[in-house]
Amino acid sequence: MNLPTKLTVSRIILTFIIIFILLFPFYMIGIQWPILKVDSVLIDVKYIVTGILFIVASITDFVDGYLARKNNQVTDLGKMLDAIADKILVNTVLVILAFKGMIPIIVPVITVLRDTIVDAIKMQAASKGKVVAAIKSGKLKTATLMIGTTLAFFYNLPFELIPINVSDALLIIATIFSVISGIQYYLLNKELLFSKE
């Protein structure tokens, strides 16, 4: 297992740690996370901790791909694990934050639906020996989604002090890009999907 793949695995491990911290009922074992107050904003330290872990996990997503390409260490295992790591990191976090009422529910609904459709397109293309390349709208979706999600972990600070809800705005923009990129993936590959070869 090369370094890029190890980084990908570390991202999967970090994702499960994030999920555990966010969902485990600490109060049942007598543990209470500290609550901080910034101006009029009450902050549960649990979200700050998981937000930092989310940032670290997101950085590994960039670094593992960069190292794999730079050192010619791209492997089928690495590509498969990277795709799994990306989906479980982002989608599970979105679902949990929506459940907690910290982001709009439409964001994970559209994002997960889009990812499912795009993954199906990529699998169908792969079965015919074709590779579906990343597109610009998909990259914009990912960038706005990651920044918006990070801000949600940090209670939209410092923008909450203005107050301007930058976090929700970025997440809605990401959701729009999700729809656009999903449609573009379909239009660019529809002939391949319905060909009989």
Q: Could you list the pLDDT tens digit for every one of the 197 residues in the chain?
A: 788 888 889 999 999 999 999 999 999 999 999 999 988 889 999 999 999 999 999 998 888 877 888 878 777 777 778 888 888 999 999 999 999 999 999 999 999 999 999 988 888 887 777 777 778 998 899 899 999 999 999 999 999 999 899 999 999 999 999 999 999 999 988 887 777 65
Looking at the DSSP assignment, which residues form a beta bridge with residue 35? 44
CA atoms within a 13 Å half-sphere pointing along the CA-CB vector of 99: 9
Task: Please give the structure tokens belonging to residue 37.
Answer: 């107050």
Q: How much is the pLDDT for 197?
A: 59
Q: Where are the alpha helices (DSSP H) in the chain?
A: 3-23, 45-70, 76-99, 106-127, 136-153, 166-194
Q: How far apart are CA 61 and CA 78, in angstroms?
A: 12
Which tokens hold the place of 118? 């795009």
- Tell me, what's the pLDDT at 127? 79
In angstroms, the CA 78 to CA 64 distance is: 9
- State pTM to two decimals: 0.89
Enter the tokens of residue 30: 């007598």
Cα–Cα distance for residue pair 137/135, rounded to 1 Å: 6
Within 8 A by CB and 6+ apart from 63, the residues are 4, 7
Structural domains of the chain in order of their starting residue, each with its CATH number: 3-194 (1.20.120.1760)
Using alpha carbons only, what angle is made at residue 92 by residues 91 and 97, rounded to the nearest 5 degrees? 100
Instruction: Please count the other Cβ atoms lying within 10 Å of the Cβ belonging to residue 186.
Output: 13
Buried b (16+ CB within 10 A) or exposed e, 96-129: bbbeeebbeeebbebbbebbeebeebbeebeeee
